[in-house]
């Protein structure tokens, strides 16, 4: 099968959105951004052996390639709309592509995202998804904007993807039910798209947690030119995490990454509304600390002592 039959067989599907005037099949796609809205664009590259294991089920690779981009749009408060896909594969493996597409299109459909174009090449397995969406002009959430006194929140639970990696690497030993639960967090992150949209009018700043709370909150406070005090006892940890806390400590929650949860800040007056939205969307939202004027992050443990994360968040090229 050559490149063109591959595209036709797996990726050239009818568009469903009215704002797509031209999808796959031409030199580029044409889409319509509604008047009064800004286009929000993001791209993430997933490299086999770096971001996922070569032998990983391609269903989860397809899901995750979309999910990590949806998570970036969520952190901007954007409504997702269109995707393009850069796919580099070593060979045409029908089963791999079938499962990849199943994972990819299931999540895309859930958020009414149309695949409108891409590029396909032969080479080392790499998946690059580019996602676009929109926000009413001037309403996008950004990393800058947090002010002293704002509450700091995180969605979902932190550290489960890190736990899954520790289990795979033999650093901890989880019973099968717990292993399955944390593996789900690693393979099928659930992007907080609706939460991001609802936070447009409430949050002062936001970021998605891909490299660990410590690193990503670090980016937020740097951009906002503020500091933060985080209470470790308030970090939302899953049951498996709590059960193995003595072995893991705070590190997986602070630095393991791959959480794809949102970290955002808001003025205390918005707390009741944020709590109510969390209930409506059935997404855990936990207040973990407060923004300070002093430009550093302080983590306070259960005994009130300062805690310094042992490892920095994930960064490519760091030796
Ligand atoms: P060009 O050479 O002009 O870049 P291609 O031959 O690469 O065009 O692609 C033909 C059409 O198929 C284009 O519309 C392109 O957007 C689309 N396409 C190619 N690869 C993919 C892919 N992996 N997923 C979705 N669309 C793709
Ligand atoms: Mg091309």
pTM: predicted TM-score of the whole model, two decimal places: 0.96
Phi, psi of 190 (to 5 degrees): -110, 95
Q: How many CB atoms are located within 10 Å of the residue 27 CB?
A: 6
For the chain, domains (ranges, CATH) are: 3-136 (3.30.1330.10), 151-307 (3.90.650.10)
Evaluate: CB of 127 within 6 angstroms of ligand 1: no
Residue 204 · residue 223 · CB < 8 Å: no
* Mean pLDDT of the chain, nearest integer: 96
Which amino acid residue places its CA nearest to atom 7 of ligand 1? 119
Helix axes 58-75, 94-110, angle to 10 degrees: 30
Per 3-state DSSP, the chain is made up of helix, strand and coil in percentages (nearest 5) of: 35, 30, 35
Report the pLDDT averaged over residues 93-102.
97
Cα-based distances in Å from 120 to 47, 53, 105, 212, 290? 15, 21, 17, 32, 46
Exposed (0-12), middle (13-18) or buried (19+): which is 170, by Cβ within 10 Å? exposed
Q: How far apart are CA 181 and CA 157, in angstroms?
A: 12
Tens of pLDDT, residue by residue over 170-229, are 999 999 999 999 999 999 999 999 999 999 999 999 999 999 999 999 999 999 999 999
Q: How far apart are CA 231 and CA 174, in angstroms?
A: 27
User: Which pLDDT belongs to residue 272?
Assistant: 98
Rounded to a whole number, what is the distance in angstroms from the first to the last CA of the chain? 41
Evaluate: CB of 22 within 6 angstroms of ligand 1: no
User: Which pLDDT belongs to residue 197?
Assistant: 98
Taking the CA of 3 as reference, the closest ligand is 1
DSSP state of 270: G
Q: How far apart are CA 241 and CA 109, in angstroms?
A: 32
Evaluate: CB of 146 within 6 angstroms of ligand 1: no
> Is a pLDDT exceeding 80 seen at residue 314?
no
Ligand 1 centroid from CA 180, angstroms = 37
DSSP track, 197-238: HHHTTTEEEEEEESS-HHHHHHHHHHHHT-EEEEEGGGS---
Instruction: Name the band, by pLDDT with cuts 50, 70 and 90, for residue 319.
Output: low
Q: How many CB atoms are located within 10 Å of the residue 304 CB?
A: 8
Instruction: Name the band, by pLDDT with cuts 50, 70 and 90, for residue 311.
Output: confident
Chain centroid to CA 283: 15
Evaluate: CB of 120 within 6 angstroms of ligand 1: yes
Tens of pLDDT, residue by residue over 258-287, are 999 999 999 999 999 999 999 999 999 999
Evaluate: CB of 119 within 6 angstroms of ligand 1: yes
Q: How far apart are CA 192 and CA 74, in angstroms?
A: 6
User: Which pLDDT belongs to residue 312?
Assistant: 65
- Would strands 227-231 and 126-136 be described as parallel, antiparallel, or unpaired? unpaired
59 vs 54 pLDDT, higher one: 59
Chain centroid to CA 18: 27
Residue 64 · residue 31 · CB < 8 Å: no
> Is a pLDDT exceeding 70 seen at residue 313?
no
Q: 87-96, 232-241, 262-271, 308-317: which has the minimum mean pLDDT?
A: 308-317
């Amino acid at each position: 099968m050559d490149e063109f039959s591959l595209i036709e067989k797996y990726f050239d599907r009818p568009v469903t959105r009215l704002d797509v005037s031209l999808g796959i099949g031409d030199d580029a796609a044409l889409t319509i951004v509604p008047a009064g809205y800004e286009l929000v664009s993001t791209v993430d590259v997933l490299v086999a052996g770096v971001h996922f294991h070569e032998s990983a089920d391609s269903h989860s690779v397809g899901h995750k390639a979309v999910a990590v981009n949806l998570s970036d749009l969520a952190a901007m408060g954007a409504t997702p709309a269109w995707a393009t896909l850069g796919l580099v594969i070593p060979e045409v493996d029908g089963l791999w592509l079938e499962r990849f597409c199943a994972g990819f299109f299931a999540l895309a459909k859930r958020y009414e995202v149309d695949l409108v174009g891409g590029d396909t090449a032969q080479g080392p397995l790499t998946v690059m998804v580019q996602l676009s969406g929109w926000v009413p002009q001037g309403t996008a959430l950004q990393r800058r904007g947090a002010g002293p006194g704002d509450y700091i929140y995180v969605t979902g639970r932190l550290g489960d993807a890190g736990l899954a990696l520790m289990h795979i690497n033999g650093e901890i030993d989880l019973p099968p039910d717990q292993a399955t639960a944390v593996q789900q967090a690693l393979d099928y992150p659930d992007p907080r798209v609706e939460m991001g949209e609802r936070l447009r009018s409430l949050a002062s700043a936001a970021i998605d947690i891909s490299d660990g709370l410590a690193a990503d909150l670090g980016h937020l406070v740097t951009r906002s030119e503020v500091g933060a005090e985080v209470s470790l006892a308030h970090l939302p940890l899953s049951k498996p995490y709590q059960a193995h806390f003595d072995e893991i400590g705070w590190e997986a929650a602070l630095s393991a990454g791959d959480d794809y949860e949102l970290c955002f800040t808001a003025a205390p007056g918005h707390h009741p509304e944020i709590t109510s939205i969390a209930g409506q969307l059935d997404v855990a939202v936990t207040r973990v600390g407060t923004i300070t004027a002093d430009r550093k992050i302080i983590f306070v443990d259960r005994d009130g002592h300062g805690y310094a994360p042992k490892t920095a968040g994930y960064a490519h090229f760091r030796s």
